[in-house]
Amino acid sequence: MATVRWVPEGIEIEVPVGTDLRVASKEAHTQQGDACGGKCACSTCHVYVVKGKELLSEADEDEEDTLDKGFDVRMNSRLACQTRIEREGLVEIEIARESREAFFNEHPDEAPPGWREKR
């Protein structure tokens, strides 16, 4: 098993090795976007890997091409739908702003009051 922790929320779950970060996010009920359903066709599941990069699959060319279309892409950016946990240990991730905004667009009832006005 591997532990996935979302910072700064402090949400943490254990998932089997082989699970991708998108599935882990859904199981943990985080505010992470998921517009294409895990097909690497958008960047709404964009996350930053804070800790545990060595436990994860490497990004392939399709993922890198899709991330090129994302916002605020950093050296530790990954698409959760394409990032599989390959070894046991702790993985810490932060949800990118574009992913959280996509989540609120998909689930407006879960958005904080005044969210649209703050954008």
Domain count, the chain: 1
Nearest C-alpha neighbor of 65 from the set 84, 82, 85, 48: 82
| Gap between the Cα atoms of 14 and 90, Å rounded | 9
Q: How far apart, in Å, are the Cα atoms of 11 and each of 18, 25, 73, 81?
A: 20, 10, 23, 18
* CATH code of 63's domain: 3.10.20.30
- Output Rg (C-alpha) for the chain, integer angstroms: 13
Q: What is the mean pLDDT of the chain?
A: 94
Question: Given this model, what pLDDT does residue 111 score?
Answer: 86
Summarised one tens digit per residue, pLDDT across range 75-118 is 999 999 999 999 999 999 999 999 999 999 988 988 888 776 65
* 17-75 confidence digits (pLDDT tens): 999 999 999 999 999 999 999 999 999 999 999 999 999 999 999 999 999 999 999 99
Which domain covers residue 77, as residue numbers?
2-118
Whether the CB-CB separation of 25 and 84 falls below 8 Å is answered with no
